[in-house]
Every structure is written in structure tokens, then in C-alpha cells.
């Protein structure tokens, strides 16, 4: 997968000399990387190596107190509590376990998010929900309950949910971890199409060697309290990533 980004594309994420501390635990030290608008990037590493901590720091769940860090124009070192909801409207998050509300329909799951992020006009909400469900091939299952859907279909709904506020960035934390190979490749094709057509930057965490091989892209690896650019001339040993 060839990157369409070049040196003139602005950065949408910038980390310089950042320490990521979860509670009192130093997770990653001196993290430095940048991601450009519309770029597709893998984030790899063993369980517990700090990948999810990076995701949590990017949405303001883990405060950053050392270094320089910005995302979508927000300075994470100076981020105020009242700014966090506005930051999160610029970022769509996709989880391995879908995190759908099981007591309501697909449509109601998406409507709940829109209402929670300040949407009020019913017709605008209907139009937006129909649009994102169409984007992920789930328009005709809007009335279904999550338990009536396959794992792949639930993940498509979760991707639709992430698209509701036209995010500048999608953070996908092992979105294919619970899916079979055929469904996994379908979800990857969907994410790549969204990346190409709607232009959000995508950061994707995975342990799936087949995914990384079939859809190669720029790769960051967390290891030994560091997060560094991976030299793509060397083959990654996925057995070491756990």
C-alpha cells in the first residue's frame, strides 16, 4: 500500500520527547513521531508495550506533562478538561470488542452518539446515520439489534459510529482481533477505502502478520519503553509481538 502523503502534507499529530505516564507508571519514554494528514500508519508492539497508552493519550485520557504533543491543533500539554469533548469529535476510535450498546438497535446506537456530541436536528441526524451506514454497507440493517449481527457486521457498525463526526483521525485498536481471516480482510479494505476517499489519518494497532503483509504501510513499533519508526527493509518477527 503506497502512501499518498508527501513532505508538504501538514502533520496532524506531532510528538517530540514525550513521556507517557499512566498513573505513576512510566509506560513510554522520549516518544517522538509525527503523522501527516490522511496518512495510514501501523502501531505494533507486544501486549503491555504502550500501544493503547498512546491511543489513550491522543484522546486526552492520559495527560501528557513532558515534551511537546499536539493533535488536530490541540496542545495536549495544555489541554483543558472542557476541550476534551471537542478534541474527541475530531477523532474516531474503533475497538476490538466493538463496544456497541446491546440494548438498542444499530440506528439507536448511532443516534445516541450524535445526541451526546451535540446534534439536535432530527432530519440531519437521520441523514448522517444513513450516510455512514451506507459507507460501511450496513444501511439495510439499521433496525437490527447488535446480537443479531455477525462479528464483522458489528465492527462495520463500530466503524460507522467512528465516522459520525467526520473525524480527521481514526484510531483503530486491533479492530480485526476477534474476526476470521476473510472478515478481517473485508474490514481492512473498508478502512483503506475510508482512508483513501474521506482522507482521515488512520493509526491501526494489530498483531496480525497477514494484515501487515497484505497491506504494507509505514510502521511504528513500541518496545522497551520506546516507540520508534520501523525500518521497512527488515522483516518484522510477529512471534515476538505476542
Given a contact cutoff of 8 angstroms between Cβ atoms, the answer to whether 65 and 78 are in contact is: no
The residue extents of the domains of the chain are: 40-61+88-230
Q: What is the pLDDT of residue 68?
A: 96
Residue 236 reports pLDDT greater than 80: no
The CA-to-CA distance between both ends of the chain, in Å, stands at: 24
Residue 230 reports pLDDT greater than 90: no
pLDDT cut 70: percent of the chain above it: 93
CATH H-level, domain 40-61+88-230: superfamily: P-loop containing nucleotide triphosphate hydrolases (3.40.50.300)
Q: Which helix (H) or strand (E) holds 126?
A: helix 122-135
b/e code 164-188 from CB counts within 10 Å (16+ = b) = bbebbbbbbbbbbeebeeebbbbbb
Quick check: helix, strand or coil at residue 173? Answer: strand
> pLDDT tens digits for 136-161?
999 999 999 999 999 999 999 999 99
pTM for this model (two decimals): 0.91
**Which residue carries 439507536 as its cell?**
108
As a whole number, mean pLDDT of residues 112-118 equals: 92
Amino acid at each position: 500500500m503506497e502512501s499518498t502523503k508527501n513532505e508538504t502534507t501538514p502533520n496532524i499529530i506531532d510528538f517530540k520527547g514525550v513521556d507517557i505516564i499512566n498513573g505513576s507508571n512510566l509506560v513510554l519514554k522520549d516518544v517522538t513521531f509525527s503523522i501527516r494528514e490522511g496518512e495510514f500508519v501501523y502501531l505494533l508492539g507486544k501486549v503491555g508495550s504502550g500501544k493503547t497508552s498512546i491511543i489513550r493519550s491522543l484522546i486526552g485520557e492520559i495527560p501528557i506533562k513532558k515534551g511537546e504533543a499536539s493533535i488536530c491543533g490541540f496542545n495536549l500539554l495544555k489541554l483543558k478538561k472542557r476541550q476534551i469533548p471537542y478534541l474527541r469529535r475530531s477523532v474516531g476510535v474503533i475497538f476490538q470488542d466493538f463496544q456497541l450498546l446491546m440494548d438498542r438497535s444499530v440506528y439507536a446506537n448511532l443516534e445516541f452518539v450524535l445526541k451526546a456530541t451535540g446534534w439536535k436536528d432530527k432530519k440531519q441526524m437521520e441523514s448522517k446515520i444513513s450516510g455512514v451506514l451506507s459507507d460501511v454497507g450496513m444501511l439495510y440493517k439499521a433496525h437490527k439489534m447488535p446480537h443479531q449481527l455477525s462479528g464483522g457486521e458489528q465492527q462495520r457498525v463500530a466503524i460507522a459510529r467512528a465516522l459520525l463526526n467526520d473525524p480527521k483521525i481514526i484510531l483503530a485498536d486491533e479492530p480485526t482481533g476477534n474476526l476470521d481471516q476473510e472478515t478481517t480482510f473485508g474490514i481492512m479494505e473498508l478502512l483503506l477505502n475510508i482512508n483513501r476517499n474521506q482522507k482521515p489519518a488512520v493509526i491501526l494497532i494489530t498483531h496480525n502478520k497477514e494484515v501487515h503483509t497484505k497491506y504494507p504501510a509505514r510502521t511504528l513499533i513500541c518496545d522497551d519503553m520506546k516507540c520508534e519508526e520501523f525500518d521497512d527493509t527488515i522483516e518484522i518477527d510477529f512471534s515476538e509481538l505476542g
